[in-house]
């Protein structure tokens, strides 16, 4: 396959996903792949093993399962499968993705309470402790790691310690962080952690994955509230049939993901990728501050995955024009999502490098003339 003749992308995706991928990841999809034979199943097993190894070296105690759909499908699969009848979920939302966990529980008619710390603050650990002490009916606690709404990185290790102090099942939505920061499942002590193909592993959209304690997953047998989103059954089939998916698998996306995992290794693993994303973030923030922009979050709460900036105060500014101007210069940014402030977001993840961030800052400087 002559991948050199593929047309270049006209812009970089500086979004929380889908994000910019390499040509070679895209090239993996440029043919028909069969889905049921041993070649493919072995590749699925390799992906599963590698995913587990990214999160822990205790691979006998943990396992991973792939699930069709976007990341939300996987979050819903966990909530709908892990909560037994009569179970009760405590969610710790501080943004739209935390709210979505609550929405999933309500839709599935699962008893759910939540401690909302607001979009600009991390979860309140004392309140978490007090809630778990007061409400013995709570069986599961769920939190988002990198809250993509703002870019806040929530302290999952500290939360995990409290949750496990009360012996509850711990669920982490690490959708936009997994693969871009070192996470040790033992240290976080979480039972289920979830991410998807099109975030920091730098694959394309089409499936998500859950890494779970084997015991926690085995305890879910027969509990699912959905056939297609039965996480236990999906795992059980993949495990017993050595890489087989229930129902049509996103074959091409899995091939692309397999290539993306290889490229993650070639880059030097999570540590090296984290360093690149951190450098992207550092250059972006320093450059934007020089231009007069203010970050929504204080640095202490800010993760290195996506950064929110307050909109310029000029009455001439509007996001759509700003977006279009940057797009013609080769950068796609993201609208804000916080309810209390006007902001926009710029992603630091994907096949994006410090030199791209330097070019972006220059493009922003040029685009600014129209409202200055
Ligand atoms: C991307 C993302 C999701 C999943 O969103 P989908 O649109 O379903 O892929 C969930 N949680 C967080 C924190 C995310 O960044």
| Ligand 1: centre distance to CA 149 (Å) | 10
- Tell whether the model's pLDDT for residue 1 goes beyond 60: no
Are 260 and 360 contained in the same domain? Answer: no
Q: Could you say which of 265, 296, 331 is where a domain stops?
A: 265
Same-domain status, 35 and 149: yes
* Confidence tier at 11 by pLDDT (50, 70, 90): very high
Q: What are the tens digits of pLDDT across the range 274-301?
A: 999 999 999 999 999 999 999 999 999 9
| Residue 2 confidence (pLDDT) above 80 | no
Cα(203) to centroid of ligand 1, in Å? Answer: 14
Inside any domain, residue 11: no
Considering the domain boundaries, does residue 234 fall inside one? Answer: yes
End-to-end Cα, the chain, rounded Å: 48
pLDDT at 7: 67
- What pLDDT is attached to residue 314? 87
Q: For all residues of the chain together, what is the average pLDDT?
A: 95
Shared domain check, 240 and 323: no
Same domain, yes or no, for 160 and 45?
A: yes
Task: Summarize the confidence of residues 166-174 as an average pLDDT.
Answer: 98
Nearest residue (CA) to ligand 1, atom 2: 175
- Those residues whose C-beta lies under 8 Å from the C-beta of residue 154, and which sit 6 or more positions away, are 92, 94, 122, 123, 143, 144, 145, 146, 147
Residue of 173, 176, 170 whose CA lies nearest to 190: 170
Write out pLDDT tens, residues 195-219. 999 999 999 999 999 999 999 999 9
| Ligand 1 mutation pick, 196, 207, 209, 210, max ligand atoms within 8 A of CB | 196
**Full domain range(s) for residue 319:** 269-370
Residue 2 lies in a domain: no
pLDDT for the residue numbered 49: 98
Q: Do 86 and 171 reside in the same domain of the chain?
A: yes
CATH of residue 287's domain is: 3.90.1150.10
Residue with the bigger pLDDT between 239 and 316: it is: 239
Write down which residue in 209, 234, 265 finishes a domain: 265
**Residue of the CA atom closest to atom 3 of ligand 1:** 71
Taking the centre of ligand 1 as the mean of its atom positions, its distance from the CA of residue 17, in whole angstroms, is 8
On whether both 257 and 109 belong to a single domain, the answer is: yes
Supply the DSSP symbol for 117.
-
CA of 196 to the centre of ligand 1 (A): 8
How far is the C-alpha of 122 from the C-alpha of 125, rounded, in Å? Answer: 9
Q: Residue 35: what pLDDT?
A: 87
Grade residue 4 by pLDDT with cuts at 50, 70 and 90: low
Domain limit, last residue, from 207, 231, 265: 265
Q: State the CB neighbour count (10 A cutoff) for residue 115.
A: 18
Over residues 105-113, mean pLDDT: 98
Which ligand 1 atom is the nearest neighbour of the CA of 144? 13
Atom of ligand 1 nearest to the CA of 146: 13
SS3 call for 124: coil
| Residue range 25-43, pLDDT digits in tens | 999 999 898 888 999 999 9
Q: Which residues line ligand 1 (CB under 6 A)?
A: 16-17, 70-72, 97, 144, 148, 173, 175-176, 196
Nearest in space to 80 (alpha carbons), one of 273, 193, 226: 226
Residue 198 CA: nearest ligand 1 atom is: 9
| % of the chain residues with pLDDT over 70 | 98
Task: Tell me, yes or no, whether 259 and 351 share the same domain.
Answer: no
Please give the C-alpha separations between residue 223 and each of 27, 41, 83, 112, 245, in angstroms, as whole numbers: 39, 27, 7, 17, 19
Domain assignment present for 16: no
pLDDT at 372: 64
Q: Are residues 193 and 280 in the same domain?
A: no
Give a yes or no: residue 7 inside a domain: no
Q: Which ligand 1 atom is the nearest neighbour of the CA of 147?
A: 13
In a domain, 60, yes or no: yes
Q: Are residues 73 and 221 in the same domain?
A: yes
CATH code of the domain in which 128 resides:
3.40.640.10
Question: Ligand 1: distance of its center to the CA of 126 in Å?
Answer: 27
Q: Which atom of ligand 1 is nearest to the CA of 199?
A: 1
pTM of the complete model beyond 0.85: yes
What pLDDT does residue 338 have? 85
CA 130 to ligand 1 center in whole angstroms = 29
Above 90 in pLDDT, residue 315?
no
Q: Which of 71, 173, 203, 229 should be mutated for ligand 1, with most atoms under 8 A from CB?
A: 71
Which one is predicted more confidently, 261 or 314? 261
pLDDT average, residue stretch 332-347: 91
Cis geometry, peptide bond prior to residue 18 (ω within 30 degrees of 0): yes
Please state the atom number of ligand 1 nearest to the C-alpha of residue 75: 10
> How many independent structural domains does the chain possess?
2
**pLDDT, tens digit (0-9, with 9 covering 90-100), for 130-157:** 999 999 999 999 999 999 999 999 999 9
pLDDT at 3 over 90: no
**Which residue is it, tokens 């994955």?**
209
**Ligand 1, pocket-test mutation among 67, 97, 144, most atoms within 8 A of CB:** 97
State the pLDDT at residue 6: 60
Does residue 305 sit within a domain?
yes
Does one domain contain both 297 and 353? Answer: yes
Whether residue 8 is predicted with pLDDT greater than 80 in this model: the reply is no
Q: What value does the mean pLDDT take over residues 83-101?
A: 98
pLDDT at residue 147 in the model: 98
Does residue 347 sit in the same domain as residue 218? no
In a domain, 127, yes or no: yes
Same domain, yes or no: 308 and 241: no
Distance 259 CA to ligand 1 centre (A): 22
Ligand 1 centroid–CA 247 distance in Å is 23
């Amino acid at each position: 396959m002559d991948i050199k003749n593929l047309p270049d992308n006209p812009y970089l995706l500086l979004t929380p996903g889908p994000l910019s991928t390499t040509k070679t990841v895209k090239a993996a999809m440029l043919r028909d792949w069969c889905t049921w034979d041993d070649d493919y199943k072995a590749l699925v097993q390799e992906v599963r093993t590698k995913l587990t190894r990214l999160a822990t070296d205790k691979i006998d105690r943990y396992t991973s399962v792939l699930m069709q759909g976007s990341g939300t499908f996987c979050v819903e699969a966990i909530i709908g499968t892990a909560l037994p009848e009569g179970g009760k979920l405590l969610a710790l939302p501080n943004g739209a993705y935390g709210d979505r966990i609550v929405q999933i529980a309500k839709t599935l008619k699962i008893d759910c309470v939540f401690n909302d710390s607001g979009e600009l603050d991390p979860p309140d650990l004392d309140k978490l402790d007090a809630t778990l002490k007061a409400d013995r009916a709570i069986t599961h606690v769920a939190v988002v790691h990198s809250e993509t709404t703002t870019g806040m990185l929530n302290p999952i290790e500290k939360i995990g310690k409290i949750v496990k102090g009360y012996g509850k099942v711990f669920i982490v939505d690490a959708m936009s962080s997994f693969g871009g920061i070192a996470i040790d499942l033992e240290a976080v002590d979480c039972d289920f952690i979830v991410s998807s193909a099109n975030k920091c592993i730098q694959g394309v959209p089409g499936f998500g994955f859950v890494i779970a304690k084997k015991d926690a997953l085995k305890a879910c047998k027969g509990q699912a509230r959905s056939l297609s989103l039965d996480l236990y059954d999906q795992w059980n089939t993949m495990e017993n049939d050595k890489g087989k998916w229930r129902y049509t698998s996103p074959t091409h996306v899995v091939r692309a993901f397999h290539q993306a995992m290889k490229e993650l290794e070639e880059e030097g693993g999570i540590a090296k990728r984290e360093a690149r994303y951190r450098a992207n973030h550092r250059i972006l923030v320093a450059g934007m501050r020089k231009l007069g922009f203010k970050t929504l979050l204080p640095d202490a709460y800010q993760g290195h995955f996506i950064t929110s900036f307050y909109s310029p105060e000029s009455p001439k500014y509007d996001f759509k024009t700003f977006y279009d101007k940057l797009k013609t210069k080769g950068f796609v940014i993201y609208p804000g999502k916080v309810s209390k402030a006007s902001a926009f977001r710029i992603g630091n993840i994907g096949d994006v490098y410090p030199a791209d961030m330097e070019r972006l800052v220059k493009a922003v400087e040029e685009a600014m003339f129209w409202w200055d």
